[in-house]
Amino acid sequence: MRFTLPCSPSLLCIDRFSLLESDEDEVPFWQIFRAAITARIKGWGDLVELLETIAVTLHSSSLRDYDTLRGFLQDEWASKETHFFTEVWPKLVQLALQMPQLFPESSLLCLSEEHRQLELSRRQVGCLVVHQFLCSLPQQPWATDSSQDFRIWYSSGSRHSMATRAYLCSIFTYFQRLSGVGNATGPIFSPLMNEWPITFTLRVLRENRVVQLDPSLLEHPIYRLTVVHLPIASTEPSLLGLPDGACVVSANKNVGFGQTGTQEETQVGSSPECCPIVLLTPTLQDNQVLIVQGAEAMITIKGYGREARLDSVLAADYGFSSGDSQWSKWRRRTMLFMDALPLDQFTVDKRTIADHLPGHVDRELLKAYNAFSSGSPKGGCKSNYTEIVTGLWGCGAFGGNPQTKTLIQWCAASMARTNLRLVLSGEDHDVLASELNEIMKMAREGLWTVKNVLDKIRELKPSD
């Protein structure tokens, strides 16, 4: 399966605005796009008109309004308008128009069991992100509720306006970095001057039941579990498993960014280089996880859900020399996208713990083990990750039981022979933190193995 890029000669459209001198009923979209984007654009109003022209040309419809985008630009970037269009915009246009050279096949080979990894340069990823901003990409060739572009952040009526503004800040900060020019027209550290590969990997596990795994995995001793309790959720770099660990992203089966403030949306929305996952990753199956390596975050976000909002803009940790990039913590950043079961669909009453229904523990354990063992060298059994940083995976809208989900992840990390750091936030988890600390004490004193913990989980019935 391939994702068609806008430079493909096969992507034809009607020239509704007569931007070309052509008598053909349909012309390649790329010709229209090139004419539209190279027109003189001097301000935010012109930019919105360009977005509308592209939307009507490619999708035959426009958004009802662009009020959220306009409001963000007028409120928070008003003083930067002249600088943006004299220094930043020309570089973005140049990068967008490099697509035929950066992607000679005019398409992306999507991840699948036959094609499990795609490695892109930061320039290639930057080109894709610019097109996501311009909404110049066609729809994905699979059924999904994930948007292929950023239009979901542009219109009024968002229920999570603070989160949306944070995501827009992330994108525009990224664009300024891409240009290599700061607010005072002095040079700044640019991702394009500090190159490293950004890797997207679909990891597929052959086994679909725990009994099919190597039995020795269950005999592994329980590794260290550390519980961190914060007053408020955060995407601070210290909570991302940097530089040599990995961070769990509590993903939907259709991975990507969104309009609200879920953990997945804040992780992806704060890291523009991760946003192209929606173009590459069909719906995750039970035996699949997505691993993204090398995506740099532009901002930190604090809060969750309706309270998610911009916290700070991050400084680049590399310099002007291409050699500096080898020391960047972002180069080795690893994001583990793993979708939990939507257990809210199974819960029938308050006494029922859907996590313990038949097959559910196996499914979640295998999903987590698939992700956590992704750091293992080929043929090896010990993960190279120094630790896995996670939260209450699948315990929000999906209805998972926090204690059960944590124990499952603890088992999976121990099977992969790595440590687990659980990050809790808010005042509601004091009891959970206390319970987990007690279980950890029992595990240490009893020299528990993975099997011991799994037996404890399986002793619980759905009605317990």
- In sequence order, the 6+-apart residues with CB closer than 8 A to the CB of 75 are none
pTM of the model: 0.95
Buried b (16+ CB within 10 A) or exposed e, 205-233: beeeebeebeeebbebebbebebeeeeeb
Ligand-binding annotation for 223, yes or no, is: no
Residue 254 identity (one-letter amino acid): N
Q: Which residue has the tokens 């700044």?
A: 188
Structure tokens at 219: 């005999």
Ligand-binding annotation for 252, yes or no, is: yes
Beta strands across the sheet bearing 225-230: 117-120, 198-204, 288-293, 334-339, 246-251, 387-390, 419-425, 225-230
Q: For the segment 272-282, what is each residue's pLDDT rounded down to a tens digit? A: 999 999 999 99
The residue-averaged pLDDT of 339-368 equals: 89
Helix (DSSP H) and strand (DSSP E) numbers for the chain: 14, 14
Q: Does position 378 have pLDDT exceeding 80, yes or no?
A: no
Structure tokens at 162: 């603070």
Cβ–Cβ < 8 Å for 198, 125:
yes
The residue-averaged pLDDT of 285-308 equals: 97
Residue 226's DSSP bridge partners are 421
pLDDT, position 214: 93
Q: Does position 185 have pLDDT exceeding 60, yes or no?
A: no
Ligand-binding annotation for 304, yes or no, is: yes
pLDDT, position 461: 67
Q: For the segment 364-373, what is each residue's pLDDT rounded down to a tens digit? A: 999 999 999 9
Structure tokens at 255: 């991975």
Q: Where are the domains positioned within the chain?
A: 2-199, 210-459
Buried b (16+ CB within 10 A) or exposed e, 303-342: bbbeebbbbeebebbbeeeeeebeebebbebbbbbbbbbe
Q: Does position 268 have pLDDT exceeding 90, yes or no?
A: yes
pLDDT, position 392: 96
The residue-averaged pLDDT of 403-426 equals: 96
Question: Is residue 322 very low, low, confident or very high in pLDDT (cuts 50, 70, 90)?
Answer: low
For domain 210-459, the CATH superfamily is Leucine Aminopeptidase, subunit E, domain 1 (3.40.220.10)
Question: Is residue 352 very low, low, confident or very high in pLDDT (cuts 50, 70, 90)?
Answer: confident
pLDDT, position 431: 87
pLDDT, position 294: 97
Q: Does position 346 have pLDDT exceeding 90, yes or no?
A: no
Q: For the segment 417-462, what is each residue's pLDDT rounded down to a tens digit? A: 999 999 999 888 888 988 899 989 998 899 999 999 998 888 776 6
- Which is more confidently placed, 104 or 427? 104
Quote the mean pLDDT of the chain.
Answer: 92
Length of the chain: 464
